Chain A
Amino acid sequence: MISSFKKSLDSGKFIVTCEVAPPKGINLEKTAHHIDLLKDKVDAMNLTDHQSSVMRYPSLGGALMVKEMGGEPILQMTCRDRNRLALQGDLLFAASRGINNVLCLTGDSVMLGDHKTAKGVFDLDSSQLLAAIRILEKGKDLGGNDLDGSPVFCAGAIVTPEANPIEPQLIKFEKKIEAGAEFIQTQAVYDLVRLKTFMEYARQFPVKILAGILLLTSAPMARFMNKNIAGVNVPQTLIDEISQAPKGGAIVKGIEIAGRMIRTIHTEKICDGVHIMAIGKEELVPDIMAAADLTS
């Protein structure tokens, strides 16, 4: 079944996706609240998969919640925790429940998370997972066996436009597209000049690109990301802007900055859409969209 997200991608409209993190535990109230708040405002919402290698309620369970609540999920799948049998099985399960959008990720090292001594699987990598999806769609599994009923997916991947060095990342980016990626959500970008440079290159490929917009919540948070998150570079001008916000006003300033960036990306048609990451503050996504003059 063609997903509504795929139809949105093909429609040529400016796409907005966001993230919802499943809870640490089985209290689903906050997750349900975020889904309810956002499901009619965005084109689709990503369900993160043990983000930063922190064990949580699974992305598949979160995606099912979104579906059941009438939203459009993008199932994030990392290759860190499952071998090819488990990944394929989960894909079949997802498709059987109407979850037809998948974002394929390698996954962070388990050493960065809260189960540091666990085994990192990485039986497949992100490009091989994309290729596996295309094989399942043809009615086969990775072992070459026939499927009784084959799934259909809208498959995506990520890229880090500000990676340094960029060239090895771009080769991987091209391999992901070759393997079957239809959409790309980028790592958080803040420098739109560099984003434009990346997009001049990326436009040659048949793939929709959604710019990653990560809400800045404070100057220390921005500095932390610059120091610790690969490929994220918050320019000093933005850090200064947020530090000069009145006391208690950093978040408001962060929303304003995110809204401004999205508006520029939209009006200048830099990308096909945006992927808003408001880590832990998903209730602010409508405010960010309003600041960007985006109506749902």
Chain B
Amino acid sequence: MIRSITKPKSKEEIDTLLKGLNRIFIIGCGTCVTLTRTGGAPEVAAMKEALLESGKLVTGHVVVPVACDNLTSEILNEEMEKIEQADVLLIMTCAFGVQTVSSQLKRMVVPALDTLFIGKETAYGQFNEICTQCGTCIIGETGGICPVTNCHKGLVNGPCGGTNQGKCEIDNNKDCAWTLIYNRLTELGRLDSMRKLQGPRNFLGEPTPGKYQISKS
């Protein structure tokens, strides 16, 4: 299942964001950030301890089941007394959860995490991006492996000169997407599709900001 993959912000950055805000309510989430161990029950408890140690007052905390869901406001309503005592909500969810809570409660929020990408756990504790949601899917011509996501430069016409021993120039442990694609297309007997010169990408395929309306006709 795809997940929103997050990593904790540094203590220094959180301290800066919380400067002058002493009464804090913490919100975690039972879905993606529980899987990534960045905002589940144990991480919320640890954050509470860290805040208390640094002299903050924690008015309460909760781990909602799915922070980005519309029902989150109803769960948070049950905590409203503690929330109203707080200067700020410190939110240990992905940015989608932070913005959901922010729009529902209209209160000061501080994200405790950085949202990295939409991906999945490919090995224990290892998360990989699978799709950048570019809006112009070309994996029908690349053996089902996405170069827009898996090539560091998002190249669509084959490898750059930095590829080495099947690895990427930025990381010896990262497979070169185009070596993987070459191997897959060879296995499939479809190397011809790699020989096709792909035109410049259509960056309008991914509207900024993303917006899509199902046709009403």
Contact = CB atoms under 8 A, between A and B. Distances in A.
A215 B203 CA distance: 41
B197 A163 contact: no
B169 A109 contact: yes
B195 A142 contact: no
Given A168-B159, A175-B195, A122 B153 contact: yes
B178 interface: yes
Interface in B135-172: 152-166, 169-170
A187 B161 contact: yes
B200 interface: yes
Contact of B197 (A106, A111, A127, A159): A127
Contacts of B181: 168
Given A167-B182, A168-B182, A131 B197 contact: yes
A120 interface: yes
B199 interface: yes
Nearest to B168: A109
Interface residues of B, number: 31
Interface string B166-197: 10011000001011011000000001001101
A125 B156 contact: yes
Given A158-B161, A163-B163, A230-B163, A128 B182 contact: no
Contacts of A26: none
A171 B191 contact: yes
B162 A108 contact: yes
Contacts of A163: 161, 163-164
Interface residues of A, number: 38
A105 B161 CA distance: 9
Given A128-B199, A165-B182, A174-B195, A106 B163 contact: no
B201 interface: yes
Interface of B: 152-166, 169-170, 176, 178-179, 181-182, 191, 194-195, 197-201, 203
Interface of A: 80, 84, 105-109, 111-112, 120, 122-128, 131-132, 142, 158-160, 163-165, 167-169, 171-172, 174-175, 178-179, 187, 230-231
Given A164-B166, A168-B182, 10 more contacts: A109-B169, A159-B161, A163-B161, A163-B164, A164-B164, A169-B161, A169-B163, A171-B158, A178-B197, A231-B164
